[in-house]
Structure formats: structure tokens, C-alpha cells
Amino acid sequence: MATCSTSALVVPSTPAPGIRLLSLNRPEKRNALSQDVIRCLLTELQNASADPEVFSIILTGNGPFFCAGADLNDIAGLDEAGARASRYLEDLCNGFKSVNKPIVAAVNGPALGGGFEIALMSDIIIAAQPAYFVLPETKIGLIPGAGGTQRLTAAIGKYRAMSCILLAQPMTSEEAQTAGLVANVVGPDALIQTCVDMASRFTADNKQTIAFAKRAVCRADDLCRDDRFERDLYYTAFGTAEKKRGVDDFLAARRKKA
């Protein structure tokens, strides 16, 4: 089984037989996706996918946030060449794609930017009532780069997606359910148990059928998307003055508040 030197950043547990619960565990940073977090998440996903005793995976966040997206301290100094060389987006997308078991996103709180995108990479989204979803990248001179423009458009349609992406307009969990993005909205205290109850329906008796069905649906999704085109534009944005100004201003404002 693969291990991660900073595995405390993603904590695995077994809430019920056959279920692996992965908790993003960086609450002091709102579970932001540093490169270490991404590496640990991919390691734990690979471990769960390879474990014959695991039939489904639940992904959630520790603390009040699901995930605040990319850690801007990690990317603030990157130019276009550095962003392209990092390959963290390719690794993240490919890592989720390689998992042959259902992934249920238990969105316990705000899912911002890359946090929203990893929920979109999951197979089923269940959200707590306080949760909301937003792609804020255009406010800091970037665009979604981990499939957000592609998956969100496929899920809720071009025009609703445009308002979410171009205007960084948030969606409440209830609005996301109405739009067809979220399967169910529950109270915060019921979230994990609701996800466990759903995930428990995937068992040894139907694991092969579920794997085939997941591959078929993901294939249909792949045919509707062009992630490489999105990533190319995302990396290109790193070379713009808008990105440098936007990220620098955001981090300066955060430091001022601290």
C-alpha cells in the first residue's frame, strides 16, 4: 500500500464495512489544495481503489470548509512556464479518473475553486445545507483549470455555468440540487451518515457491474469535455498581468485581515 509522508493532510477511516472515508485535514487553511495535499489525496485514492475490501469512497473536509481550492501561496510565484511544468492539474484529474469505484463527495461546507472541481470529479455529490459552491478564479486573473468549465457546463448547462464562472456567482446547496448538480441536501449532522447509507449500497455483489456502469457514464462525460483545452488556457493565464495583480492583491488583503 502506498504511503504519503504528510498523510495527516488526508485522513482515511472506515465508517462502515467496504467504505473508505477520506477527510481533507487542513482546517487551519480551509483545506486548501497545496501540492502536498494533492499528493496525499491521490495516494489515498489509489490505496482505496486497489483495496479489494473497499467498494466505495467518501470524500469530505475536516472543519467548516469542504475545500477552499488551490493554495494561492503555492501558485503566487508561478509564471506560465512554471505552471505548465508543475503538472498538478493533470495528476489530479488523472488520479480521480483512474479510480474504478464510486466516489461520493460529502460537501460539508464551502467548496471553492479547485474544491468545487474535486466535487465535480466525484461521481455523486451530497451537500449539507450550509454548503455553497463557487468558482472564483476570474476574480484573481485565472480561470478554472481542473475541469470546472467543462464539467459544470455539462452538469447545469451553458447559460447557468456562464454566470457561475464569468461572474464567480455562488450556488447554495439547494440551488445546486435544483440545477441537477447535487443528488441530495441534508442537515450537517446527517451528512456523513447519509453518504455512508448511500455508499453501503455498493457491495462485493455488484462491484463489477458498478465499475462497468461508472466507466460507461464517465466515457459519455469525457466525450462532452475538452479538459486539455481548458488547462492550456488556465496555464496561459499565469503569464498575464491580471493573474499577478489578482493573486497578489488577494494574498495582501488576507494578510491584512490576519
Q: Are 195 and 125 in contact (CB under 8 A)?
A: no
Between vectors from CA 199 to CA 198 and to CA 202, what angle results, nearest 5°? 110
Q: How far apart are CA 47 and CA 43, in angstroms?
A: 6
Beta strand segments in 62-160, E: 103-107, 111-112, 124-128, 132-134
Residue in 114, 141, 145, 147 annotated catalytic: 114
Task: Reply yes or no on whether 70 is catalytic.
Answer: yes
Main-chain phi, psi angles of 150, to 5 degrees = -85, -50
Residue in 70, 105, 111, 237 annotated catalytic: 70
Task: Reply yes or no on whether 137 is catalytic.
Answer: yes
Q: Are 186 and 151 in contact (CB under 8 A)?
A: no
Task: Reply yes or no on whether 16 is catalytic.
Answer: no
CA atoms within 13 A on the CB side of 201: 9
CA distances from 221 to 15, 65, 152 (A): 30, 28, 11
Residue 70 DSSP label: B
Task: Reply yes or no on whether 157 is catalytic.
Answer: no
CA atoms within 13 A on the CB side of 220: 7
Secondary structure in 3-state letters for 156-181: HCHHHHHHHHHCCCCEEHHHHHHCCC
Residue in 137, 145, 230, 246 annotated catalytic: 137
**β-strand pairing of 171-172 with 56-61:** unpaired
Q: How far apart are CA 52 and CA 17, in angstroms?
A: 12
Residue in 68, 105, 117, 119 annotated catalytic: 117
The residues annotated with a catalytic role in the active site are 70, 114, 117, 137
